[in-house]
Amino acid sequence: MKKLKIFIFVLVFLTTFVFTFPLKTVVSYFLSSNNFLFSKIDGNIFKFNIKDLENRYVYIKNLKIDNKIFKQNIFFNKNLEISYKPFNKNLSIRFNKFDTSKVLKDKEEISAKLEGSIKIYRKDDYKILTGEGKIILRRLNLGFITLNGVRIKYDIKEDKNFSKVEADLKGLNINGKFTGKIVWKDKIHLKGNFSGRFFNQKVERDINEEFNFNFLDGIL
C-alpha cells in the first residue's frame, strides 16, 4: 500500500509539473534573448511546437521539439536531423541533401545543398567542431565577387583545443585545397592556407578571419 501511495504521488506530481511548467515563458525568454521572433508556442515540456520562428537570417514555419530531458530531438525538415544533449552541451547535426533555401531568407547571398554531419561540443572554455561531408555551393556572394557551382568536401577533426580542417574545393573558376584550424572561444577564428587555382590563376593565400555566432552561446 505504501509503495502504491508513493507511485500515485509521483505520478500526480509529474503530471502537474508537465501541465503547469511555464513552457511559453521559458522558451519565449530564450528566443527573445537570441533575437528570434515567433508567432506561437504550444505543447508541453516533453513535446512542443514553435510556429513562424525567424531572425535576421532564417525563417522556419514549424519547428518541433521532442524533449527527452537528457536528449532533445529537433525537427523542421525531413532532410535534417538535429539532436542536443543539454547536460553535456553536445549538439549533433546530420544533413541528407539538405537545401539551405528551405530556411535561409537571403537566397541571393548564399544557396547550398549539404550532405554529411557536424558535431559541436564544449572542451574547457572552447567549442569544438568535428564532422565530414560534402557541400554543393550553388551561390555565394562575397561582395566583390560571386561564386557559383562550387563543390566542397570537408573533414574536421578535434586537435587539442581547436578543430583541424581540411577542405577540397572544385568548380568552374576554383580548384584547390584549404588546410587550417578553427579556434572557437568567444568568436570563431578561422586560420589556414588556400592553395590552388582561382580564375585560372595560381593562388597561395593565407586565411585569417573572425566571425561572431552568438546564437549558440546560450546552449553550448
- Residue 152: strand, helix, or coil: strand
Maximum pairwise Cα distance, the chain: 83
What are φ and ψ of residue 209, in 5° steps? -130, 150
pLDDT 10s digits, 159-202: 988 999 999 999 988 899 999 999 998 888 989 999 999 888 99
User: 47-54 and 59-67: which strand pairing?
Assistant: antiparallel
- The three three-digit cell numbers of residue 169, written as one number: 574545393
DSSP assignment of 79-91: TEEEEEETTTTEE
What is the rounded distance in angstroms from the CA atom of residue 150 to the CA atom of residue 152? 6
pLDDT 10s digits, 26-66: 777 777 777 888 899 888 878 889 999 888 888 989 989 89
pTM of the model: 0.78
Q: What is the DSSP letter of 159?
A: E
Q: Which is higher by pLDDT, 120 or 186? A: 120
Of the pLDDT bands very low, low, confident and very high (cuts 50, 70, 90), residue 22 is low
Please report which helix (H) or strand (E) contains residue 162, including its range. strand 162-170
